[in-house]
Amino acid sequence: MSRAQKNVLLILTVVIALTRLLALAHSMFDWDEGLFSLGVRDFNVAAYHPHPPGYPLFVAAAKVVHFLGVSEFRSLQVVVVLGAMCLFPALFFFARELGFDFTTSVGGAALFAFLPNVWLHGGTGYSDVPAIAVCFIACALLLRGCDDTRAYLLGAAVLGIAAGIRPTNLLIGVVPALLATYYQIRRRSFVAVLLAILIGGAIAGGSYAGAAIESGGMKDYLEAVRIQSKWVHDIDSYHNPYRPPLGQIAKIFFLWPIQQRQQTVALAILALVSLIHAIATRRRAPLLLFAMFVPFAILVLFQLDFAAATRYSIAYLCVHAVLAADGLGVIARRSPRVQATLCALFVVLFVVWTWPALQLQRKSDAPLVSALQWILRNAKPGELVFVHGGIEPQAHFFLGDRPNTVYYDEPDQISLLSGDAWVLDLKVVPGAHNWVWPHKRLWRVMRRRNFEASVGRASSVVVFGHGWYGDEGAFRWMGAESTTKLPVLRGKGKLRLRAYAPLDGLDAPPAIEVQLNGATIERFTATKSDIDKTWTVPSRKDAPNELRILTSGTVNPKARGGSDDARDLGLRVDALSWNPQQ
């Protein structure tokens, strides 16, 4: 590199490293962050602290930071941010070792660093970013190790570290490792090959052996791995009959892992330009880069959860980024200035688009964390608290062994006799304390869950029984008759029904009757489509209340034509609440 190129690289490395601080999350957000935080506190893979296989070197690095007095989650963030700061220089040197020119290497590394999911996850508590940063370094050293024995041995050691963070890194490092080993064998450096295998194997194997020892022994550890593997096989992988077709999965993983299709598809098209040009001109670098990530891509396509594509794609989007930069070079006819300008325009586009998501992640707690902290501040130790099982690791981290804490997955698991208990749910509940992140930019990048949370009394929980159709988000349809169980309240309760009657599809306004515990509360004719009624009625004391709603008119959209919906629709209930009388 020339002196000017070294200066450009140094300046960009420092500037991009500083931008990583803009992504520092205000709090943890998702399931795995809770598990990793529990692992920093008390590592035990058998207890899912964290989940198998344990990601031992990632957690070990965070434990070192935690030993210095930093909290568990912040310790994870320190490791992740340091990894994020290394992404740009690591990918640059990796691209250079592959054979890309300076401008393409700088442009590709910058594009990758500013991809929305790479930037945002670089401020969280996940292992993906530091894992791929170390993997880039390992691959660069192994490629250099084709001619340099010292780099070959060092690359083997770093690949062992990368595998100790995330074992799937081996699938990425296998191509450069085999390539470097081939050249070492050609040079008859058999001792170096043996040493490389021993060094890499000792680091990776020792990491997981240590994880097993810390988890109560190899038997308990392997049992946890077996259970986790069965979950991946049955739920996440192609063996799940309800998983979308592979063609659709491929589009999600490889074309638009971020729900901003214009940007990701544009990168894919530019990458295709690079590959076609490489085939036509017999350029090795683009084809070798593509080939290196094929094993991991196969694993992703067939085995991993497509709902987490935004995270898993971090490991291979470097292919899109570097090849896109190379494709821009082809379009620019290898003019470094034009190519650099085009890459810079893409970076600016990513920065502008990602900025609102960065602001939300950096400046506010995730809704579930706000809800858990509310429980800590306001729920008395003797009060019963029901917590949604979808955030069990995060709740365990914040609430610990708090007495009278029960985890549930479905509303009918909440006792209807515990009207004064608190319920932490992952949806907006009318009359409860609600925390919401808007479904905007961050929603398109992070996993689409935990953007709403609420804490309310169990008295606000209703169980929908016979006659109801499935939950459709903001509303639920019933047929001609429905039954609903309502919790026990002390004294009288306030029952509110807000519904919609499909008058435009009925010959006459329907007669509607509302009953509670066998007694008619009100019978009326729905002369308007919008219904909003409130009643104050006594609650049962020793058994759940039974609400019965009847309507004389239903509509079948399929029978009327123009729809495939064959349900008999009576009322669309937009809100149903049951709370103590104030």
Give the domain 463-580 fold. Answer: Jelly Rolls (2.60.120)
Mean pLDDT computed over every residue of the chain: 94
* Ranges 139-148, 305-314, 444-453, 556-565: which has the least confidence: 556-565
Nearest CA to 459 among 428, 492, 487, 430? 487
Domain definitions of the chain by residue range: 3-216+244-363, 367-460, 463-580
Tokens of 334: 């290898």
Give a three-class secondary structure readout of 484-504. EEECCCCCEEEEEEEEECCHH
- pLDDT confidence band for 96 (50 / 70 / 90): very high
**For residues 530-536, average pLDDT:** 94
Q: What's the pLDDT tens digit per position in 472-495?
A: 766 899 999 999 999 888 889 899
Phi-psi region of 27 (alpha: psi -120 to 50; beta: other; left: phi over 0): beta
* Ranges 72-81, 271-280, 448-457, 554-563: which has the least confidence: 554-563
The continuous run of DSSP H or E covering 524 comes out as strand 519-525
Q: What's the pLDDT tens digit per position in 53-91?
A: 999 999 999 999 999 999 999 999 999 999 999 999 999
Q: What's the pLDDT tens digit per position in 219-238?
A: 999 999 999 999 999 999 99
Tokens of 303: 């085995």
pTM of structure? 0.83
Nearest CA to 80 among 36, 38, 121, 22? 121
Close Cβ partners of 458 (under 8 Å, ≥ 6 residues apart): 384, 386, 414, 415, 416, 418, 419, 420, 421, 422, 423, 487
